[in-house]
Amino acid sequence: MSSRRGYTLIELLVAIMITAIISAAGFEFYIKMHNQALTQEEISNMQQASTACLQELVKTTRKAGYMIGNHVPYVINGDSIYVFFRETQAVDTVLYYLEDYCDGELSGNVSYPDAQRPRKLMRKINGETPCIFSDNINDITINAPSATSITIHLVAQTMTPDEDYPHNGGFRYYPSSELIVLRNLKL
């Protein structure tokens, strides 16, 4: 009786196929985990930017009317707000407003439908050149429910769509709002 040594061609092909299946499953798992990490980073950036932006808006808006005499403390015009107070000049003026991105400013590999096209929140202080205050803002609504309070509702969005998220074309939104009580008004 003679014993055969080695593997047959079929055994070798089966071993290669099993190895390929296990490797493909591991690679797919790695890609999914990597994409989830990138998505979570986008969501965290969106939430942090929204919170920081809103808190800075609150801080500036709360100064409205500080030591300016009979000058109006603020002017709301749609999605923009002028805030007047005295800090460095007789009347300091801070303007916040939404502005559309130019085509070259947005990420080149992402196409945005009109409803999901982000805008930038701009800030202009005392007639200086406006600067970008916050990126990726979808909407801002500013209201004055009473003479001594202002509500700001801000909606931020992710910069790139998530292919695994079926809603809103893959873009995620983070709404936040704040009620600001103006303390410097003499009413």
pLDDT at 118 over 70: yes
Mean pLDDT rounded to a whole number for the chain: 88
Instruction: Provide the token pair at 184.
Output: 């410097």
- pLDDT-derived band at 186, boundaries 50, 70, 90: low
Say if strands 74-77 and 80-85 run parallel, antiparallel, or are unpaired: antiparallel
Give the torsion sign (CA, 18, 19, 22, 25).
negative
Segment holding 99, helix H or strand E: strand 92-100
pLDDT recorded at residue 107: 65
Is the distance from CB of 157 to CB of 46 less than 8 angstroms? Answer: yes
Query: d(Cα 17, Cα 36) in Å, to the nearest integer?
Result: 29
